[in-house]
Structure 1
Amino acid sequence: MSVAPKPSALIRRPALVITLQALASFAILATFLPLLPSQEWYIRVFDYPRLQLFTLAIVSLLLYNWLAPKTRKRDKFLLVALLVAIVYQAVNIYPYTFLAPKEVKDAAKDSPTDAMLSLLVSNVLMYNKEHGKLIALIQKQEPDIVLLLESDSVWQQAMQPATKKFPYRVEIPLQNTYGMHLYSKLPLRQQKVDYLLDKDIPSIKTFVKLRNGVWVELHVVHPKPPVPTEDATSEKRDAEIVMIARDIANSKYPVVVAGDFNDVAWSRTTELFQEVSGLLDPRLGRGFYNTFNANYLILRWPLDHVFHSTHFKLESIKRLSNIESDHFPMYIRLSFSPENKYEQVEPEADEQTQEDASEIIEEGKEEAAEDKREGKSE
């Protein structure tokens, strides 16, 4: 009769222990590499999978503690480093769990309907042909504003059954996957399309009039991600995000910013954006709302964001169903509540933060100028 090997017997299987060491080392390195000041894509990419690295570190710790030897110094060091990585990731994950306090308060149930603003934000994936799924979502949700990203002239034409009910619009159909379409049932004014650092990467700034007569400043953004096929560094992405934050910081209006930041909510750049702009994140204390990648369950993180000023409280927020894009659409409904704005703590930028912001903007402009000299942005 055969007998199952005891765990101690598995220690003699070098391949298993080596595999565990490799996984543990990867979890540790990937956790702490983003702390480096480098903007290279192969460093910044590890900003994204925080939940995945947290899970990998826990699994590695449990298996290593069970199966591998723990008498050698390097094994003890690996176990301690895994514990530190787990704690570090947990601290960063905690604000997005229901255990944490909500940064944005819930709107009162009796909030006036004329103070509401609802947005549906969707990176459609330009090559996606399943237009009907998004049309059905828009018709079901009935948002005040629809923001389409990666939209071209084909999407513009195909979406007419849904967008014909939106009389106010800014349409920027592009073939480079950075097109934008803004459709609004509420009046718009001063629609402005900016190309902050790249001549082919637009952003939108406009003002939308709520039903109660209040004008709200609205920004739509979609910078390039730091990946080899787009930009080798995050310099221009980070600079564009911070430049918009600087613009918002001087606003005298209630503000909403929405779009695909190509950056996760917990990155230093997004934190800097909040501190400089003073905007709030409605996900804090509620959940991650991972919108990318819709095709792979284990590779998801929050790339599509809606931030807003303290003038608003949250009526609802949800990730919508799959439309065959690589992003899930997001829906949010805000309540304009200026009389209660001081119930919410506005992020603030200290002197060092402002210096960091200025440095990021300067580096992004220098990178854009270098790209222009080399013809990359032509």
Structure 2
Amino acid sequence: MTDTVKEHKRSFYRTEMLPPKPPPPASTGVLGWMRENLFSSWWHTILTFVGLYIIWLIVSFLVQFAIIDAVWSGQDRTACLADGGREIGACWAFIRVWHNKYMFGFYPEDQQWRVLVVYAIGAVLLAFLLIPRAPGKRLVMLLLFVIYPVLAYILLYGMSSLGLPVIETTRWGGLMLTLVIAAVGIVISLPLGILFALGRRSQMPVIRFISIIFIEFWRGVPLITVLFMSSVMLPLFLPEGVTLDKVIRPLVGVALFASAYMAEVVRGGLQAIPKGQYEGAQALGLTYWQMMLLIILPQALKMVIPGIVNTFIGLFKDTSLVSIIGLFDLLGIAQASLADAKWATPVTAPTVYLYLALVYWVFCFGMSRYSIFMENYLHTGHKR
């Protein structure tokens, strides 16, 4: 065989792999996602178009009502009344007039800077705490959970010796009161829930019995009943001459109520930990609390992040129930504002409840998105 023929044959041998070809455009990107999730079958295609039609009806109505036909300025109800056959949308002029009350309740206007300072300090500390790799976490936790509550109470309630006029809690209201109740409930319910979850799994019969009674009692009573009991019945069990602030009563009830649900969420995480983790910790000679704090609880809490945040979201929304015991939280102020005859129109109530829905949604959606971020950061499941 000649050298020319040998060289010709060698030219058909591949000495290196070819680069992989890109997938078909129809299976990647937006088109691929739509084909896989929305139009994978004739039944999914029908459901997709029906869903898009329903979304279009809702969104088009909300845009028309809340933006296009909305009234943005005015001095009284005449601005939000239909005239000449023109459709009137949301009466945002009413929200602008009452916005200060929605935010601060009956807190004096010249002292509202104190509330804003509390908001600002809390937001900065919370931001540092929620950033996973932020430096100085221990110092921030000390400031947020020990020093900040005292500072917030002094600023909100006042102290004459510091030149801050005393503002009675009966004048607290609006979003400010909602955040106070939700924040206190969230901060107290998590550690209490962890303790009662550990107590329910304890080997000591007395501790386990007390934990079971506490959890089942609070889970078996509606929150409305708890609020009524804390507001009406709790003062009857106090010693003579001892009074409890009207805001502190529901704070105690809400915190205890939420801690019972939190305990069951945490207990679910504890039960999901393999037995080998407990045995390995005991083999290392760790004490019970060292085992829980260093090995078991970090894994359990990481696995139940969705349940914990779900409890927080439910607690935040349940704060609206305090309006039934005479506290003017955000919902209570909103309902009180509807009695303003100066702004009585057919669109006033829908506008107020749309505004409330947006406020609650912003806070709850923010907690939900942070929960997903932490799940992905800690690799507790597949990324969304």
- Same-fold call, TM cutoff 0.5: no
More helix by share: 2
TM-score scaled by length of structure 1: 0.29
Larger radius of gyration: 2
TM-score scaled by length of structure 2: 0.28
More strand by share: 1
